[in-house]
Chain A
Amino acid sequence: EAQVTQNPRYLITVTGKKLTVTCSQNMNHEYMSWYRQDPGLGLRQIYYSMNVEVTDKGDVPEGYKVSRKEKRNFPLILESPSPNQTSLYFCASSRSSYNSPLHFGNGTRLTVT
């Protein structure tokens, strides 16, 4: 089954404790992206990747890191999480960046206390 898999689905952590949210897709998509969703703000792009070893900042990249060492994986790293990073995070992938619909993961609800 074609899918984007995010883990974990829920995560509660404390300020400053490094964490990684994993994202993997099995559709051989070139394009992958991370979004955060906050009430009243919709979805905002954090980082995206056009292909292996090619990443770029979205609208809200501060406090996040990403890497794309393999085509299928695109982890999101929070080196020192803060409470303002409490949010719902989505990973997405597509065949190309503009004319193919995004396939979304099921989301990761992150709480930073």
Chain B
Amino acid sequence: AQTVTQSQPEMSVQEAETVTLSCTYDTSESDYYLFWYKQPPSRQMILVIRQEAYKQQNATENRFSVNFQKAAKSFSLKISDSQLGDAAMYFCAYTNYGGSQGNLIFGKGTKLSVKP
């Protein structure tokens, strides 16, 4: 069974600095998708970034980028120039490509605090 592991329950970063959130996953599939979702105190789940496993190039969305290491099954999220609004829970998620009927599997989350 596929699993997603976020080993950092909590992280803290100084405003304007860079922070990296870790995510590892376990799968025997070769085609899949990976996501990072942000959940601010408002509870809304917001898609931050996604990566297709067949693409070697790391995805980037403005200040957010990933380091996708397929062989190591690692998918870390880097937030550059951290802002106070980045404070939130961050969830890493995995899903098969055309596989098990769409079960999106989430990690347990990392709570990010941003210090002014």
User: A45-B104, A50-B102 given as contacts; is B91 within 8 A of A107 (CB)?
Assistant: no
B64: Cβ under 8 A from any A Cβ:
no
Cβ contact within 8 Å between B91 and A42: yes
B113: Cβ under 8 A from any A Cβ:
no
Closest to B31 in A: A98
* CB 8 Å contact bits of A41-64 with B (1 = contact, 0 = none): 111110010100000101100000
Interface residues on B, range: 20 to 34
Cβ contact within 8 Å between A48 and B108: no
User: A99-B97, A104-B44 given as contacts; is B106 within 8 A of A42 (CB)?
Assistant: yes
Cβ contact within 8 Å between B95 and A98: yes
Task: Please name all residues of chain A whose beta carbon is closer than 8 Å to the beta carbon of B9 when the two chains form the complex.
Answer: 40
Interface of B is mostly: loop
Shortest CB-to-CB span from A43 to chain B, Å, is 4
Give Cα A45 to B103, complex, Å: 7
User: A97-B95, A98-B97, A98-B99 given as contacts; is B43 within 8 A of A107 (CB)?
Assistant: yes
Give Cα A107 to B40, complex, Å: 13
A74: Cβ under 8 A from any B Cβ:
no
B24: Cβ under 8 A from any A Cβ:
no
**Additional pairs, 19, CB under 8 Å, beyond known A31-B102, A97-B101:** A33-B104, A42-B107, A42-B108, A44-B106, A45-B104, A45-B105, A56-B101, A58-B103, A88-B43, A90-B45, A92-B45, A97-B95, A101-B35, A101-B50, A102-B45, A102-B47, A104-B45, A106-B42, A107-B44
The chain A residues found within 8 Å of chain B, CB to CB, are 31, 33, 35, 40-45, 48, 50, 56, 58-59, 88, 90, 92, 96-99, 101-102, 104, 106-107
